[in-house]
Amino acid sequence: MIRATLALMLAGLSPAAGDGPEIRTADVDRFYALYDATAGKPSVAQIQRDYLDHASDGFAAFMRMRRITAESIAQRLAAQPDLYVKARGCASHLPVIRTRLAADLGKLRDLYPEARLPPVTVAVGRGKPAGVANADGVMIGLEALCAADFAVADPEDRFVHVIAHEYVHVQQAAAGSDTDTGMTVLQAALVEGGAEFIGELMSGAVGSQHLHRITRGREAAFEASFLDDLDKPAEGSRWLYNGLGTPEWPGDLGYWVGYRIAKAYYVRAKDKRAAVREIIALRDPKAFLAASGWRPGITLD
């Protein structure tokens, strides 16, 4: 009965033409069909044969991008079974999320008329990452994003804000940005922070709200430290892609700094649509920083 209810609930998520983004959830239904049939303990062979071998195109791309395998899913199921129980309940929010996204992605087209709106694929993976994007679409790990309540407490808000962020990455990928490798701290912070800021224009808030809470009153100190590391590689830095961090130095602070630089640029710009284009294109990170008028501790609200 639970499986049938989930299938009926997810069946209505493919909108009519022109009615907003397509959200593909067949992989979620397929995973929980296997989950039910094996009492929540599928073997590696079963995960491969009955789930991954039938992956949608979006999920197949997600698997390649983030090394999702039958072995990694089985290991996470064994180590954190509650993660997958929670994800199933969280899936009940998907219909409302889809309705909200239709309106928010319409705002993206107002801000950036050339915006591409490829499908969102929601699937069940290995506990991370919560979301990725490329020029072909957005991929969301249901179990990972459902568990990320530290960032945004309300699950519907969390999905909407994170998917809005990832949709900006779709536009950045189309513009030629590489959001994965070889970037400096400054470039990566502007890519991620730009997605945060434009995502906020679309959906009303950012996906990493916890960073804004943690840094309140400490802006100048954090941002002065950021200036010291602008030209360092993003990978392995203390600013990006470094987990949750600590209360003294939270992870992914570059998202927050980049957001503030992008917002400073936008606030200063007379032509707001042109500013959005520049945030997405990011042709010259150093020139963008200089033009933004940002400085450590700047007041933006």
Out of 29-43, 124-138, 178-192, 241-255, pick the least confident.
178-192
pLDDT band at 8 (very low <50, low <70, confident <90, very high): very low
What's the confidence (pLDDT) of residue 103? 87
β-pairing, 23-24 vs 131-134, is: unpaired
What's the confidence (pLDDT) of residue 24? 92
What mean pLDDT is predicted for residues 254-261?
98
Domain map of the chain by residue range?
Answer: 2-174, 185-292
Provide the whole-model pTM.
0.89
* CA nearest to 267, candidates 279, 282, 257, 256: 279
pLDDT band at 151 (very low <50, low <70, confident <90, very high): confident
Residues 262-281: tens digit of each pLDDT = 999 999 999 999 999 999 99
Residues 72-114: tens digit of each pLDDT = 999 999 999 999 999 999 999 988 998 898 888 889 989 999 9
Answer whether 79's CB lies under 8 Å from 72's CB: no
| 134 Cβ contact partners less than 8 Å away, ≥ 6 residues apart | 61, 65, 169, 170, 173
What's the confidence (pLDDT) of residue 15? 41
Residues 195-224: tens digit of each pLDDT = 999 999 999 999 999 999 999 999 999 999
Query: What mean pLDDT value characterizes the chain?
Result: 90
